[in-house]
Amino acid sequence: MQQQARKFLDETIVPTLSKLDMNSEHAALLLLGTVAQESRFYHRTQLGGGPAKGLYQVELLTARDITDRYLKNRHSTRLKFNTAVGLDPNTIWATVPDYFMLTLLQFNDIFGTAIARLKYWMVPEELPKDVPGYAKYWKTYYNTPLGKGTEEEFIENWNKLVVG
């Protein structure tokens, strides 16, 4: 595994997922592939001036949906989420200003990891077990059929940036 990918996996993804109590090998690898595909481990603002931010390229509306709608009625998950990202466990996300949320998305990789994991967590389908499966899952549930990315591109970026 490439050094940058291994470091991000070991220092950001696995600890964050462990604090969320949502860690598994396949969840961690799916998130690693998502970062390789979405930002190439580098871009923190969407190329072309789009609204997505951070290494996971999450849009504010997506983050708001997860924090304000999904976490609102899941007290224990919200507590774990807030603790994982280093904020007061009683934070109610609807009170957090957009500029703060955007800053977290763009520069706080733990927050981005937690948001991306919850986005996948909300999908009722079981996590895939291999790279072609990660690519298909990412395309279907993260990038969506309307997104510009392709499964083939995901696999190329995995091979180049994760495997090396």
User: Of 24, 124, 19, which is closest to residue 77 (Cα–Cα)?
Assistant: 19
Q: What is the pLDDT of residue 3?
A: 97
Q: What is the pLDDT of residue 122?
A: 96
The string over 97-132, giving b where at least 16 C-beta atoms fall within 10 Å of a residue's C-beta and e elsewhere, is: eeeebbebbbebbbbbbbbbbbbbbeeeeebbeebe
Q: Which residues of the chain have pLDDT under 50?
A: none
Q: What is the pLDDT of residue 48?
A: 87
Q: What is the pLDDT of residues 85-124, one digit of tens each?
A: 998 888 888 889 999 999 999 999 999 999 999 999 999 9
Query: Max alpha carbon distance in the chain (Å)?
Result: 43
Q: Where are the domains of the chain?
A: 3-163
Quote the pTM value: 0.97
Q: What is the pLDDT of residue 92?
A: 86
